[in-house]
Structures are given as C-alpha cells and as structure tokens.
C-alpha cells in the first residue's frame, strides 16, 4: 500500500476530537506565527505584483486575502497569502525535513475553509494533518537539498488539508495527493540567486494544493502510487532513497508538525545558529570596532544555502541578505539584534555592517556527515587587541530544544504587525486565533483588520 493511501485513510478517519489538546494549542501557536509572517510579508517586495495579477484576473469571490481583505477565487487567495507568508522568511520551519510547512499549508487551508464555509475546529484539524503529512515525508528523506522541500512536499500537505475541508472521501483524497504530485515543484536555486521567486514558490504550492483538492472533488483522478510508485515521488525526486518507517511511525498519535520551530530572526533558518552565536559575542562585550576578522563555520547543509559572503562586488539584494550568513552575522555583531528592518533595501548600505562583513569568512564544517543537520554552528572572532573569542550553537534557537517564550512569541507577532502594508489590529487577530476553535464560520474570522 502506497504511503498516499495510508495518509488518505488516516485523514479520512480522523476528526478534530482525535487531536490531543497539546496539538491543538501548538497548531494555533504556529498558525499565529504564520499569520504574523504573512502580515509582515504584505509589505515585502514582489507582493504588490501578485496582487495586481489576481486583481486583473478576477473571478468568483471564494476566499479572502490576509491584510488586504479582498476576496478572490480560492486558488488566487492561496497564491498571494502563501507568498506573503514566506516573503520575509519568518514562518515556522521543520528542521528534520529541512522545510517550512506552515506558510503554504495554512494558506491553502484558509482558502479552502472559506470556500467550504468550515469552522475553526475544521481549520485546525486540516492544518494539523496537512503539516503532519509534509513533515513526516520530509523526515523520511535522507539527502541534502536541491529541490525545495517546502514546495515539493508542501503541495501534498496543502492538498490533504484542502481535501479534508472539502470533505473528500478516501479515493478522492488519494487522487488529490496524486494531482499534487503532478504539480510538485520548486527549487533551491531561487534561494542561491536571491530571487523573488523564492517567496512565490510558497504561493504556488498553496494554490497547487487547493487546485488538486478541487479537481479531485469534481472526479478528476490522480495516480494512486504517489510516493512509492515506479515513477512516484521518491523515485523521481529522491533517487529512491527514504526511510519509510519515519513517515509512518506513530501515525495518528503523534503529529509531526508540532515539532516545528519558530524563527527568532527574519532570514534563512540555515544560519540562525551562527546568528545566535554572534549575538552571544555581542552580549559578552564584543563590538564591531574590536574585530580584526571573524570566521563562521556551518554544516554542509547550512553552508550550501547560507554560505554567502557579503562583500564589495556581490549582488546586494534583500533576497541575498536574507540568505547570507556573512550579512546576518555582521548585523548581529555590529548591532546586537536582528529585526525586520535589517532586511529592507535601505539597510543594505549600512557602512559599519558592510565594513565588518568584508572581514568575515564563511567555512564549511567538513567533519559533519549528516546531509540534513543544521548544527553545530560557530563564530570565532579575532580581536584587534589580540586574542580570540568563540561561541558555538548546538541547538537552534526557537526549536523544540530551545523554544521561544510566550512573551517572545507575542513580541514577534507584534513586530510583524507593525510591518503590515495596511493597518491591522494585533489584539483582534491574537484573540481570534487564541479562540479559533470557537469560531463556527471561518468567513467571520477577524484576520483582516
């Protein structure tokens, strides 16, 4: 039996009442974090172009855009909301799978829930099961990155979540997953080149999931052997290398999506350990003017995406700043903090940060053989007065091993709300999500003002 059939059968048997209370609360917390990321993303570069596109295309008003409050077809709303959720690279991340599941899956689920006039409980259930699928399959993979697993695997979770909200039965749910396979795509070159396509891959994925479920609802069939077929996902995308037991272990009793991490810094997760180390050095008294040079050491997986220097002659775009360990560490050492404003065009010309970045080297830790791990990460500074200072991070900040406090989570949300393209009420949105399970109609949810 293909994994797709197992996931579909489990999802169609499952109800909101089956979710442990801790899973419900964690899912709401990740939804809040994702909504915050999308609110901040509403003012990011490239989003206005997506808005212009869906406005020009028009169509049946089925689902609402976060922040803007306009209604469009469900696939169009999922596209823009998914892009906004990932535009600042500030949405939750699942490190064992090296992916960001909540941005695309929540965007798909929200659009589907509005189209179906579903309840808050149904939305929570759909997000919990959609992220569980995507994270389980991501955890089962063993290779490094090339494909963007946020995109390739997110499509399956988005389709499952939307399918649940549309009330699909087992056979049509399998078809929805098969139709997601037909659309599964997305690559890491978008990150390497610092392009705006990176944020839109989250939107493409959300829209693909909604479309897959809508077509399956109308009887369009997809392949059954989605993951393990001769030309299924594992064979084509992962050269047949995966650990099946990681995808099915404790299915129905453990929800893997709640093992995700909340990002404390608005940039690529791959170098957050180095940022934490640099911030520790700053807190310990090290200042940019004290530093002769610095070396950042990253595991191979992190180095492949974030091992970018920030030097004269390099293309200095916001996208490159987000994925550059050189830039992020320079900001952390110079300022002792990393905030959303550090990743705006106006910040990229800061003389102190750029001068320090010229003195930072990024190295790959070749002693690390795990193709997926992001730790350890270290920063070593050589001081102008002599001597060195070193800090090493062995657990990523914001992870289940080093979780953010409730106060830090709320402060992050409010900082995101302050970057909204239009005024929003943080209090209304916080209250709506905290009480999400009491909402009878998602269409009435206060997420837009």
**Mean pLDDT of the region 11-28:** 98
Confidence of residue 446 (pLDDT cuts 50, 70, 90): low
What pLDDT is attached to residue 448? 61
CATH 1.10.4100.10 residue ranges of the chain are 3-264+402-444
The answer to whether 349 touches 360, Cβ cutoff 8 Å, is no
Confidence of residue 331 (pLDDT cuts 50, 70, 90): very high
Of 449 and 204, the structure prediction assigns the larger pLDDT to 204
Task: For residue range 72-90, list pLDDT tens digits in order.
Answer: 999 999 999 999 999 999 9
C-alpha dihedral sign at 26, 27, 32, 33:
positive
Confidence of residue 115 (pLDDT cuts 50, 70, 90): very high
CATH 3.30.1330.120 residue ranges of the chain are 269-393
**Mean pLDDT of the region 55-83:** 98
What pLDDT is attached to residue 276? 99
C-alpha dihedral sign at 33, 37, 38, 42:
positive
Per CATH, the homologous superfamily of domain 269-393 is 2-methylcitrate dehydratase PrpD (3.30.1330.120)
C-alpha dihedral sign at 245, 247, 252, 256:
positive
The least confident of 18-32, 64-78, 135-149, 254-268 is: 135-149
Residue 437 clears pLDDT 80, i.e. is over it: yes
The least confident of 38-47, 139-148, 421-430 is: 139-148
Percent of the chain with pLDDT over 70: 99
In the chain, count H helices and then E strands. Answer: 20, 6
Residue 168 clears pLDDT 80, i.e. is over it: yes
Task: For residue range 286-318, list pLDDT tens digits in order.
Answer: 999 999 999 999 999 999 999 989 998 888 999
CATH architecture of the domain 3-264+402-444 equals: Orthogonal Bundle (1.10)
379 forms beta bridges with 296, 391
Of 359 and 312, the structure prediction assigns the larger pLDDT to 359
What pLDDT is attached to residue 145? 77
Task: For residue range 207-251, list pLDDT tens digits in order.
Answer: 999 999 999 999 999 999 999 999 999 999 999 999 999 999 999
Please give the Cα distance from 435 to 216 (Å, whole number). Answer: 32
The secondary structure of residue 261, as a DSSP letter, is: B
Task: For residue range 253-285, list pLDDT tens digits in order.
Answer: 999 999 999 999 999 999 999 999 999 999 999
DSSP-derived pairing of the beta strands 360-364 and 291-298: parallel
Residue 136 clears pLDDT 80, i.e. is over it: yes
Residue 445 clears pLDDT 90, i.e. is over it: no
**Mean pLDDT of the region 61-79:** 97
Residue 412 clears pLDDT 70, i.e. is over it: yes
**Mean pLDDT of the region 194-211:** 97
What pLDDT is attached to residue 315? 82
Please give the Cα distance from 146 to 188 (Å, whole number). Answer: 6
256-261-263 Cα angle (round to 5) = 155
**Mean pLDDT of the region 107-121:** 98
Please give the Cα distance from 186 to 166 (Å, whole number). Answer: 26
What pLDDT is attached to residue 260? 99
Taking CB atoms within 8 Å and a gap of at least 24, the contacts of 393-397 are: 393/273, 393/274, 393/276, 393/277, 396/95, 396/261, 396/269, 396/272, 396/273, 396/276, 397/264, 397/272, 397/273, 397/276
Q: How far is CA 152 from CA 85, 113, 159, 184, 232, in A?
A: 17, 22, 12, 5, 12
Q: Average pLDDT of the chain?
A: 96
What pLDDT is attached to residue 178? 99
The secondary structure of residue 291, as a DSSP letter, is: E
Nearest to 89 by CA among 99, 97, 80, 79: 99
Question: How would DSSP label each residue in 80-96?
Answer: HHHHHHHHTS-S-BBGG
Question: How would DSSP label each residue in 403-425?
Answer: PPPHHHHHHHHHHHHTT-SS---
Please give the Cα distance from 273 to 368 (Å, whole number). Answer: 15
- What pTM, to 2 d.p., does this model score? 0.96
The 3-state DSSP class for residue 392 equals: strand
Confidence of residue 443 (pLDDT cuts 50, 70, 90): confident
Helix residue ranges per DSSP H, 295-395: 300-306, 318-322, 325-335, 351-357
What pLDDT is attached to residue 197? 96
Residue 144 clears pLDDT 90, i.e. is over it: no
Residue 449 clears pLDDT 80, i.e. is over it: no
The 3-state DSSP class for residue 109 equals: helix
């Amino acid at each position: 039996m293909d994994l797709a059939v197992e996931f579909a059968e489990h999802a169609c048997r499952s109800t909101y009442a089956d979710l442990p209370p801790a899973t419900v609360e964690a899912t709401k917390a990740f939804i809040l974090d994702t909504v915050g990321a999308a609110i901040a993303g509403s003012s990011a570069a490239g989003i206005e172009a997506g808005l212009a596109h869906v406005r020009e295309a028009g169509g049946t008003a089925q689902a609402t855009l976060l922040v803007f409050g306009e209604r469009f077809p469900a696939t169009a709303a999922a596209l823009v909301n998914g892009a906004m959720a990932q535009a600042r690279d500030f949405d939750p991340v699942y490190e064992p799978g090296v992916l960001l599941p909540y941005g695309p899956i929540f965007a798909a689920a929200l659009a589907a829930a509005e189209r179906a006039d579903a309840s808050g409980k149904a939305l929570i259930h759909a997000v919990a099961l959609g992220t569980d699928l995507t994270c389980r399959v991501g955890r089962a993979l063993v290779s490094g990155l090339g494909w963007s697993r946020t995109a390739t695997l997110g499509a399956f979770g988005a389709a499952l979540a939307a399918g649940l909200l549309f009330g699909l039965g087992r056979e049509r749910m399998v078809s929805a997953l098969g139709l997601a396979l037909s659309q599964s795509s997305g690559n890491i070159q978008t990150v390497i080149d610092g392009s705006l396509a990176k944020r839109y891959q989250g939107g493409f994925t959300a829209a693909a999931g909604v479309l897959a479920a809508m077509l399956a609802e109308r009887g369009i069939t997809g392949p059954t052997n989605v993951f393990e077929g001769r030309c299924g996902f594992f064979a084509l995308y992962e050269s047949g290398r995966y650990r099946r037991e990681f995808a099915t272990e404790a299915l129905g009793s453990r929800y893997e999506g709640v093992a995700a991490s909340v990002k404390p810094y608005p940039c690529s997760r791959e170098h957050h350990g180095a940022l934490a180390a640099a911030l520790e050095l700053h807190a310990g008294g090290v200042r940019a003017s004290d530093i002769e040079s610095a070396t950042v050491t990253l595991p191979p997986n992190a180095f492949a995406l974030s091992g970018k220097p920030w030097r004269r002659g390099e293309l200095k775009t916001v996208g490159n700043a987000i994925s550059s360990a050189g830039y992020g560490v320079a900001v952390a050492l110079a300022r002792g903090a990393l905030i959303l404003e550090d990743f705006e065009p106006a910040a990229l010309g800061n003389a102190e940060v750029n001068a320090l970045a010229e003195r930072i080297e990024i190295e790959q830790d070749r002693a690390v053989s795990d193709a997926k791990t992001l730790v350890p990460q270290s920063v070593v500074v050589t001081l102008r007065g002599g001597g060195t200072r070193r800090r090493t991070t062995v657990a990523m900040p914001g992870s289940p091993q080093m979780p953010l406090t409730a106060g830090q989570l709320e402060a992050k949300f409010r900082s995101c709300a302050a970057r909204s393209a239009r005024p929003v009420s943080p209090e209304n949105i916080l209250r709506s999500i905290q009480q999400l399970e009491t909402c009878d109609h998602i269409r009435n949810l206060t997420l837009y003002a």
